[in-house]
Structures are given as structure tokens and as C-alpha cells.
Amino acid sequence: MNSPTEKLSLPQSPDKGDTDIRLARVHDTKSFHVTLKQWRALHAVVDCGGFCEAAESLHLSQSSISYAISKLQEQFGFPLLKVMGRKAELTEEGRALLARSRNLLSDAVELEMFADNLRRGRHAEIRMAVDPDFPMHLITQALYRLKERGHDICLALSELMSTEIDQTLRSRRADLAIVRQTLPGFNHMRLFQVDFVAVAHPQHRLSRLKQELHPVDLTTEIEIVITKGAQQHPIERNLQAPIQSQRWCVQSSDTAIRALCDGIGYAWLSHHQVRPLLEKGSLCLLQIHSARPRTMMLHLASVQPLASCTRIKLLVDMLHGIAQEEQRLAMRTHLLPAL
């Protein structure tokens, strides 16, 4: 048995064993030639589409981004990017290194978040950014069910437009987000399909026609469109809309619904938002002939793998289950086609 003062030593091995031991002890590496900041700059240029966009995303000067990439290429001895017009594209070597380095950056972020959670205690809040088209009551239901099962989740919720959510995730100001499109570098899962329906007041001219409408029937009517600044509602971007003589732009679905209830125009709104009004008879469904359904899939994006945080995984699993229940309920109402 070793005495209390005796030092334990690893058994001596041949050269290969020595090499394996050195490789297992990361701190034995003589020096690191590349910094996390340089890797981050490379990822930002690729993910954001250019040096200018990367500088804006990281809140740095464009010269700082260029210098970081230049040093990275100098240290490796070969180019990682090639400039094609105004865009920067990866070389073959750059593409291989980018794929390997994504895990490096993710691990560094997770390590800092883990340390931050330790500092704040295990009841630290989960920061979540949500697209306004997601049914918010599903989140409150998830929290309530978790509380019933003895899990107290502290949630800081922000309702943001999609461009704001992208920036919030990239700057690590949110742990979870409900987004319209998947974002490179984050973990994703399909969460909820939003179905859009055309609605108007029951006494509106379109409602009284009592027949399937065609795009030409809408050209003389006011369409209420939800916008916020330069951001257009997703169904307006993705589908060909009829040419309108009048189009009223509002910044929220609440404003659009108030106008509709006053008998003004028609609008495409998410079914879950107008379902109570349809059931009460305050609004009426318009049957408009369309080449395809108007839908949008929302995804749940997480900064770190779900398995690395028990509280986040509990919330995500519960929210996913409730979202599926809501989807099945919408199908059973027969107001929407099964997709």
C-alpha cells in the first residue's frame, strides 16, 4: 500500500503509450495557435453570408473580422475562404475545418452556460424567445402541468419577430426559441404547424356570398395584413396574393382582429388565434380556392443539446406533447383539412 506521502505515478510505456498519455492531457500541448474568437469570426462570416453581416451580428468592426480570418488562414497555411463577388465561400479545406470546429464552439458555449447555471443555482430561469404566431397558451399549459408534477420551472418569455429571435439566439440571450426557419449551429425539432385561414365578419359581403371564393373576388376588398417594420407576415412572402385595391397594414394580430370584428375587410390569420371567435360566431371562415394550404411549420431551437440540461428537457418534452395534442384537436374540428 502506498504511504500518505508517496506520489502515485503512471506506469512507463513504450513511445506509443507516451504519445497516448500526452494526447489525453490537453494542457500538455505546447501552444494553441487558434483562438475561439477566430473560430467564431469564421462561423459568423459563413452563417451570416459575408464579412459585413458577420461584423454586424458580432457587434465588431469589419476590419476586426477580416483580421481574425486573415490570422486564421496564416496560421493554417492555406485559405479557408474565397471571395466570390460580394459573398465569401468556403474552400474545400475550410468546409472540412468548419464542420469539425462547430462542436468546439458549441462545447465552449455549453461550458460557460453550465458554469453560469452553477453560479445562479439550479433554479436559474430558462430564457425563451417565441414567434408571435405560436399559440402562447400551450406554454402556460406546459408550465402548469410541470408544476402539478412537482417541477418548478422559472421561465423568462419574450415574444419577438423572427429577425429579432435570430439575433437573440446568436448572441446567446436565449436558451430556447420557437422559430420559423432552422438556423445553422443550433439544435432543432419540429414543434407545431400553424394553419392560416381566411376570415371576415359574418355580415361582410364576402361572408354573405355563401360560396367558394376565387382570387378575383378579393380584388375589390380590403385585405388586412400583419407587418412589423419591414418584416412581412410569412404567408404574404411565401404565397402569391391577389392584387388588392386596398391593403391595410397593422403590426399585430390583435389589431387585425379588432378591425375584422368591426366589419372591415378580411385577413389570413392563424387558426388557433381565431378559433374562439369562429366558435362564438364573431368571425366567419371564407372558403377561398387556393392551389395549396397556407401553413407554416414552427421549430423549437435550443442553444445546447437538450440532454445537457434537465430543466430545459422537461419543458421541451412537455411542450412538444401539448403541441401535438393541440394539432390533433384542430384536425378533429373538421375546420381544417388533414395534411
CB atoms within 10 A of CB 316: 20
Residues in CB range of 81: below 8 A, 6 or more apart: 42, 45, 69, 73, 88, 89, 90, 91, 94
Minimum mean pLDDT range among 17-21, 163-167, 331-335: 17-21
CA distance 235 to 243: 15
What DSSP designation does 252 have?
A: S
The pTM of this model reads 0.58
- Give the pLDDT of residue 336: 46
Contact between 286 and 198 under an 8 Å Cβ cutoff? The reply is yes
- For the chain, which residues make up each domain, given as ranges? 19-119, 122-339
Question: Of 3.40.50.300, 1.10.10.10, 3.40.190.290, 3.40.50.150, which CATH number belongs to 122-339?
Answer: 3.40.190.290
Q: In terms of CATH architecture, what is 19-119?
A: Orthogonal Bundle (1.10)
Mean pLDDT of 319-329: 89
Task: For 49-106, write each residue's pLDDT tens digit.
Answer: 888 888 998 999 999 999 999 999 888 889 998 877 777 789 999 899 888 888 888 7
Distance in Å from the first CA to the final CA of the chain: 71
Confidence of residue 214 (pLDDT cuts 50, 70, 90): confident
pLDDT digits (tens, 9 = 90+) for 255-293: 999 999 999 999 999 988 898 999 999 999 988 876 467
Question: DSSP characters for 262-311?
Answer: TT--EEEEEHHHHHHHHHHTSSEE--B--SS--EEEEEEEESS-GGG-HH
Kindly state the cell numbers that stand for 54: 458577420
